[in-house]
Amino acid sequence: MRRSHSHRAGQALLLGLLLACGALPGEGVRAQIGPIQPPEAVPAEARINAFVPWGGSRPSHGLTLDLPAGWRLVEAVAVHARTNEQVPLRLAASSQHERRVHALTPRALRGPLRFVLGLEVGPEARSAEVTVYPLGRREDGQLIYWSGWEARWRVAVEEAPPARGLALRGDGRAVPLVLDRRALPPLGDRDGYTVEAWLKTTGLEEVVLSAWDGREGQPYPFEWLVDAQGRLVVYRGEPGRHVGMTAEPPVADGRWHHVALTHDPAGWTRLFVDGAAADSLRSGDAAGDAPLAVGGRHAARGASTAAPYTGLLDELRVWDRARGRDEIGHTLRRRLDEPVEGLVRLGFEEDVPARLVVARAERLTAPSDLAFVYPVEALAARVDGRAVRLTWETKDRESEAFAVERSLDGRAFAAVGEVRLRDRVAEAADGTMRFAYTDLPPEAPLPYYRIRQRAADGPDRLSGALKLGLGADGGPLAELLGNSPNPFATSTAVLFALGQATPVRLSVWDVAGARVAVLYDGPLGAGRHEVVWDAGDLPSGVYFVQLQTPETRLTHKVTLAR
C-alpha cells in the first residue's frame, strides 16, 4: 500500500477498543463478497495483500476477519471500484475472539468496493483458512455481521523460498535507475517492440516503469503503474490525452507476476500478465523521447510527479520486435543468460552496463526468490468409493518427478506416491501436461493433498493444498461430476452431488485466475444438483468450474468452443 498510509500499521491492533458484534441472518440481504485473492498459496512470514470485492446493495461498515494462528492484519483500505478513492480502515482487536480482528470504515460506504487487506503470514508452513464477514449496522447503531455472506479463503502456507539471485528494489523515495532510450531497441509508433519484466509488490498507486517525463501533452510509449485496487494499468500518451489498458486480477498481492507489453508497426499495443492476454488498444503518435525510468517516473522540472515503486523488479527484457503470446510463454520461465540478438536484458546480479544508464542513485538491490518453474495448477479430485483420483496440470518440464503428499490434519504431510514426467496422461497444444494419481486414503473424514515438484538442481516447489471432504462412511461430502455438453458453444449444465446439506458456492474462473461467473451461492440439500451456465459473450477457451463448500474445494475444466 502507499507509504502515506503506513503510519496506520503502527496502530494495527487497538487492544483497548472492544467491539461486540451481533449477527443478522443473511436471508433477504442482496450482497456479494469474494472471492478472496490471492487464491492458492503464499510463503510463510511474507507480507501479502488480500483483495476482497464487495458488491452488496447494503452499505458496508467494514470487515471482520478470523485469522489463522500467527497471522496479523497490519493495514486495510477500502477502494471505490469506480473512482479508485481510498478510504483507510481502523483496525481493532475483538474482545471475544483471540484471532478475530475488525477493519472498520469511518462512515458507511456503498459498493461496489474492493477491500485491500495487508496481512503478515504466520511462520508455520501448513494449510490455513481466513474467514471474512461483511459488517453492517442495525437501526440502533450496533455493528453486526451479515450471517451467511461470509467468504472463506483456504490457502497453503509454503516454506519461505530461498534467494536465487538479486532483483532491483524500489525504496519508495527516488527513481533508482534511468536508462538511455538510444541504447535500447526503438520504442516508436512504427517500431515493433516488447518490454517485459517480473514484479513483486504490495504497493498501491505507484509507478513501476515509465517512458514519460510527466509533462502534460507530451507523447510517450508507455507507463506502467499499480492503481489503488492493486491492478496493473498501462498508459500511452498521445498529444492531449492518455489512453490505457487495465489487467485483472490484481498484481499487488506480494507474489511474483510476469508482465509483457508488445507494440507492432500497425499500431496495436497488447498487454499480457502471467502469459495470458489481459487487454489491447490501437493508438498512434505516442512515441516521445524521454528516457526509460525503472522504478518510478523520471519527471522533468516542474512536471507531474508520481509515487515511486516500492517492490521488487527482476528480469527486465526489451526486445526489438512485437512478440506473440506463444513466444512470450516460451521464454517466460527461462533464464536467458546468453546474448540474444535484438534483446537488451537486465538481470541485476551484475552492475547495469554504463552505456545504458542516464542517471541512478545508489545501486538498490535485494535478494530475489524468483523461480523459473511453471507451477502445478488445476489440482482436483474425484472420489469413487474409497479411491481418490487426483489430477493436476502444469507446463513444467524441468522437474524430475511429482510427489503426491497426503495429510490428515493439513499440517504434517507425507509422500504417498510419485508420478514421473513421462507418465503424463495428456498434453495440450500449448504444452500444458495433465497428470493423474489414484490413492486409497485411510478412514479419516478430511484428508488433504498437495503436489511436490522435485527439481533436479534446485529446491522443491509445493502446490496449494486441496482439502477433500469425506463423510463418516467414507463417501464424498461433495462431488463435481462434470458438465454436459463439453465442449459447448453457448450453455452447459454443471452436475454435482452433495453427501449432506451444506452451503455451496459454484463459480467459473478463466485461465488467468479471474472469476468470470458465480453460478450459485447459498445452501443446498443432499443429493444430485444441476446448474446451467450461460457463457454469454465470453470468448472461446478453457475455463474452470469450482465447487466450494466449508469442507472441500473441487475444480473441473470445461471448454467453450464457439
pLDDT, one tens digit per residue, over 370-383 is 888 788 877 877 77
Phi–psi pair at 171, nearest 5 degrees:
-100, 0
Lowest-confidence pick of 24-38, 149-163, 330-344, 506-520: 24-38
Tell me which DSSP letter residue 230 carries: S
Residue type at 501? A
Closest by Cα among 89, 20, 21, 23 to 54: 89
Which residue ranges make up each domain of the chain? 3-158, 165-368
CB neighbour list of residue 295: distance below 8 Å, 6 or more residues apart: 168, 170, 175, 176, 177, 208, 209, 308, 309, 313, 364
Is residue 150 within 8 Å of residue 133, measured between CB atoms? yes
Question: What is 3-158's CATH topology?
Answer: Immunoglobulin-like (2.60.40)
pLDDT band at 470 (very low <50, low <70, confident <90, very high): low
Least confident of 47-51, 153-157, 556-560: 153-157
Q: Which residue has the cell 454469454?
A: 536
Q: How far apart are the first and last CA of the chain?
A: 41
Using alpha carbons, select from 236, 355, 351, 224 the residue that is nearest to residue 296. Answer: 224
The set of residues, in sequence order, having a beta carbon less than 8 Å from that of 396 and lying 6+ positions away, is 373, 374, 375, 376, 453
Nearest to 469 by CA among 450, 445, 449: 445
Grid cell for residue 388: 481418490
Give me the mean pLDDT over the 275-280 stretch: 90
Q: What phi, psi does 354 have (nearest 5°)?
A: -60, -30
Please, what CATH class does the domain formed by 165-368 belong to? mainly beta
The full length of the chain comes to: 562
Rounded to an integer, the average pLDDT of 118-123 is: 94
**pLDDT tens readout for residues 423-468:** 999 888 777 899 999 998 877 666 888 899 987 766 678 887 777 7
- C-alpha cell belonging to residue 129: 483458512
pLDDT at 469 over 70: no
- Which DSSP category does 431 fall into? S
Asked if residue 540 lies in contact with residue 562, where contact means CB atoms within 8 angstroms, the answer is yes
